[in-house]
Amino acid sequence: MISTNRVYVETNRRLWDGWAKLHAKSDFYDLERFKTGKTTLKSVELEELGDVAGRSLLHLQCHFGMDTLSWARRGAQVTGVDFSQQAISLARSLSEELKLSGEFICSDIFELPEVLDRQFDILFTSYGVLEWLPDLQRWAQLVARYLKPGGTFYMVEFHPFVGMLDDDAGQRIEYDYFFSAEPIRSEEQGSYADPEADFSHTSYVWAHSLGETVTALISAGLRLDFLHEFPYSVYNCWRFFEERAPGKYEIIDSKHAMPLMFSIRATR
């Protein structure tokens, strides 16, 4: 299984190299606005993680580093990790251009112990990360390994319920809620940030239920401070979302409140 997963992960890495290039030019990520000093962090994580000034922060799956560097602007000493060389090169050049200090490491998170051997006050990860990981138990062990005793883990993520919905209208259940070792294969056209882009690539993702995520963290030795579920998404990254309040997206025409994001804070 591990060698099969390597093929899936390598395919995904090439996808993300392509997407990183597209995303840097997209309105969705709005790099120019970030360069003028605007944070890319949302009020959910700003309020729930709180003050990071003077604390060391490890950001797993940091993409091209805008969130990581937004934490640096708030005084954290940041380290970002991503397996896409394109994303990490861009993060490093942003860090240099904006004179925001940050360390960026290109590595599959599961291979990180080969290149990073110290612990952090805070471990952060957000929005669109878990589905790319074939093994949440190993992920949670990694989280625990990189946190100092008493350190804080914080994540905010799309709810696994959203992952069950069909890609077009979001009105039908099309995918399993629970993990299966066999990933969901899709042929991506463009990307969630730029659906019209002239780019196509295969992706492999894995479903992870909320119970699986929470249990993996507890089994790795973390103590949960909270698990929050939200009836909206702060990102408009599915065709089936509409803006119901400023910056809050829900499923088009839905009449009932559904879980669209969740956040977890835990202590080691």
Ligand X SMILES: C[S@@+](CC[C@H](N)C(=O)[O-])C[C@H]1O[C@@H](n2cnc3c(N)ncnc32)[C@H](O)[C@@H]1O
Q: Residue 264: how many CB atoms within 10 A of its CB?
A: 21
| Closer Cβ to ligand X, 9 or 254, answer by number | 9
- What minimum distance in Å lies between the beta carbon of 265 and ligand X? 17
Residue window 66-105: x/- pattern of binding to ligand X, with contact defined by CB under 6 A: xx--------------xxx--x------------------
Task: Fill in the amino acid letter for 31.
Answer: L
> By CB under 6 A, which span of 123-131, 161-169, 170-178, 194-202 interacts with ligand X?
123-131
| Closer Cβ to ligand X, 77 or 84, answer by number | 84
- What minimum distance in Å lies between the beta carbon of 152 and ligand X? 18
> By CB under 6 A, which span of 47-55, 59-67, 201-209, 217-225 interacts with ligand X?
59-67
Q: What is 39-93 written as a DSSP string?
A: ----HHHHHHH---TT-EEEEES-TTSHHHHHHHHTT-EEEEEES-HHHHHHHHH
The residue from 52, 58, 109, 142 that contacts ligand X (CB under 6 A) is 109
* Contact predicate 29/65, CB 8 Å: no
For tokens 């962090």, the residue is: 41
Give the DSSP letter of residue 183: P
Backbone angles phi, psi at 96, to 5 degrees: -70, -50
The number of helix segments (H) and strand segments (E) in the chain equals 7, 11
Scan residues 136-175 and list those touching ligand X (CB under 6 A).
none
- Name the site residues for ligand X (rule: CB under 6 A): 9, 12, 16, 61, 63, 66-67, 82-84, 87, 108-109, 126-129, 132
